[in-house]
Structure 1
Amino acid sequence: MKTPLIRSKKLSDLNSCNIWLKMESAQVTGSFKERSIGQVCQKYAQQGAKKFISSSGGNAGISVAYMGNMLKIPVTVVVPKTTSQQAIDLMQQENAEVIVHGDSWVDANDLALSFVNSEAIYIHPFDHPYLWEGVAKIIDEVIEDGVQPDAVILSVGGGSLLSGISQGLKNHGLDVPIYAVETQGTASLNTAMKAKQHIQLDQVTGIATTLAAKQVCANAFHISQSEHVVGLTVSDQEALSACFNFLDDHRTLVEPACGATLSVLYDQKIDFEPTANVLVIVCGGASIGLQKLLQFVEDLAV
């Protein structure tokens, strides 16, 4: 669904420019994944899919479960052990079968692929053109609402958000910098950008579990090498602090994966022109609660 576009007075004043928040946290499933997953599920439903198979660390699985329930198509989601119980509960509430397997998304994904057949269609959480088409509509809505961005700030996990926003900007003939933010423990894109190779991390660590892809999709890496992408990394503490600041300032609870993006504004890590319109994708996250954030505070203080 179309989400609100809000000018943040607090963040605009703090960064001496116009900060526009695209509130993807307002999606029914709590994250931008509803756009990407919604697009691909509808496409495959039109092609006769009888079942959806997916793997996820949280948000993508919740959206596949939601879309399957809406389309009356059975869903199986394989999640790694790092997935929160809240995320699993949300998938099951949408009548999805949830299988917990492996220590990382890669392990979960390998099992999910073994279930795929001619009628049970695999829904990749971040690597498919249908997904990017869905995300690109974010830029359509921003333009419709009268804002032409001079820069975009977003978080990167597997790369579908970066891929879709890049496509949306191209659709409108916009060539503006995209600031791609990761936590230090999940920096698969930033590491690949520095190496100039599409490499895979040995491991991913930290509290931003929904960013925990060891390797971004090839399309996201290509974009990072051929377009104006600026890579940034933040600490878990910075991401977590931004979650609490955003809750105070905008009455919206987001997960650390989204806090990573917001932290570069709260900590004023980028300089913008005073007239700049900076679009921030508040990607949201349904697999987090206040108690979990408070637990992170305790854990990081040890």
Structure 2
Amino acid sequence: MHLNSPLVPALPPFALPGQRGWLKMDALQPAGSFKHRGVGRLCSAKVAAGAKAIVCASGGNAGYAAAWAARALGVPAHIVVPESTGLPVREAIAALGAQVQVHGSVWDDAHAHAVRLADELGAAYVHPFDDPLLWDGHATLIDEVVAAGMRFDCVVLAVGGGGLLAGVIAGLRRNGLEHVPVIAAETVGAASLHESLKARERITLPAITSIAGTLGAKRVAQRAFELCFEYPVQSVTVTDGEAVDACLAFADAHRVLVEPACGAALAVPMVHRALFEQFKAPLIEVCGGVGVSLDTLNEWKGTAAWKTTPR
């Protein structure tokens, strides 16, 4: 269902002097984010196996992608979102014909309710980040870059539950690029992978305190955690303020709006310059997001609270 998204040269500050950086523009997918790849693949497989309806728990982007896929496949969709998902996103999902329920304060609460709901309805549950078919869908972004003949020496991406990370590594491996490292970025307050790696065990965050709600899984997928010990992954964090600043800089440079969750990856060249400048041809996955507008970005920019958040 997904598009072969544009691959465009990165403009400063997303490419540093001496670099030829690339942006994989999954913000331009029909459902507004990279989720269109994996969620579309997973929904299609569920329906092909006989599912008459789908249920998905989401902070916003996976739910929107699931609703989009369900409409294309001609089956009902039931999307469960936490209270942290804004009204405009809920309305956008409902506009695609999905039934939207609000349950719990964070994604983990919505997920538990959605699993029960799928069982009650006899529907297929579409996990937003922890399923091998989903990862296979996300891996197609690497396939497309390789098919385009573009050379790159690292991949920068944002991590929420870890589905994109697992998919990108799968794509690198199946294209013989096991040597290409991944820089995995999270915002402080939603950094379940980073904190798990520090503890050297998969931990559950006590709460999600970041404004990057679509990164808000309190516990990263087991496979994503394991891959960080099998593969060259560098885990980094940025503050909410740094993520928002990156979103605004990206809008200025490339004229595209993205969520702070995506801003976590876009902030890496500025916040972790010493790490980023080690590479000559970095590839940044511009994962997008539907829960953003110029007004919301400026509102976040004007909020003093995140300015003092330590990394």
TM-score in terms of structure 2 length: 0.93
Q: CA deviation at 1:271?
A: 4.0
- Structure 1 contact 57–210 (Cα < 8 Å) conserved: yes
Q: CA deviation at 1:269?
A: 4.6
| RMSD of aligned Cα (Å) | 1.4
Cα distance per residue 1:260-282 (max 9 Å; x no partner): 111111342524356x2211000
SS in 2 for 1:18: coil
Q: Does 1:238 align with 2:269?
A: no
SS in 1 for 2:223: helix
Return the alpha-carbon distance in structure 2 between the equivalents of residues 13 and 228 of structure 1.
21
Aligned position for 2:79? 77
Return the alpha-carbon distance in structure 2 between the equivalents of residues 12 and 129 of structure 1.
31
Q: Which of residues 206, 213, 216 in structure 2 aligns to 1:212?
A: 216
The 3 A distance-change label for structure 1 pair 301 and 201 is closer
Q: Which of residues 143, 148, 165 in structure 2 aligns to 1:145?
A: 148
Return the alpha-carbon distance in structure 1 between the equivalents of residues 27 and 182 of structure 2.
20
Q: Does 1:227 align with 2:231?
A: yes
SS in 1 for 2:97: coil
Q: Which of residues 185, 191, 194 in structure 2 aligns to 1:190?
A: 194
AA partner of residue 154 (structure 2): A
Return the alpha-carbon distance in structure 1 between the equivalents of residues 292 and 138 of structure 2.
22
Aligned position for 2:138? 135
Aligned position for 1:49? 51
Q: CA deviation at 1:10?
A: 2.0
In the alignment of these two chains, the number of paired residues is 301
AA partner of residue 167 (structure 1): A
Q: Which of residues 165, 169, 178 in structure 1 aligns to 2:168?
A: 165
Q: Which of residues 124, 129, 133 in structure 2 aligns to 1:126?
A: 129
Cα distance per residue 1:202-250 (max 9 Å; x no partner): 1111211100110110010001122100010001110000010000000
AA partner of residue 277 (structure 2): F
Return the alpha-carbon distance in structure 1 between the equivalents of residues 115 and 104 of structure 2.
14
Aligned position for 1:24? 26
Following TM superposition, the consecutive aligned residue runs of length 4 or more in structure 1 with deviations greater than 6 angstroms are: none
Q: Does 1:297 align with 2:301?
A: yes
- Structure 1 contact 11–19 (Cα < 8 Å) conserved: no
AA partner of residue 125 (structure 2): Y
Q: Does 1:112 align with 2:102?
A: no
SS in 2 for 1:182: strand
Return the alpha-carbon distance in structure 2 between the equivalents of residues 178 and 100 of structure 1.
34
Q: CA deviation at 1:173?
A: 1.1
Q: Where in structure 2 are there 5+ consecutive unaligned residues?
A: 307-311
Q: CA deviation at 1:199?
A: 1.1
Q: CA deviation at 1:146?
A: 1.1
Cα distance per residue 1:141-165 (max 9 Å; x no partner): 0011111321000000000000000
Aligned position for 2:67? 65
Q: Where in structure 1 are there 5+ consecutive unaligned residues?
A: none
- Structure 2 contact 14–266 (Cα < 8 Å) conserved: no
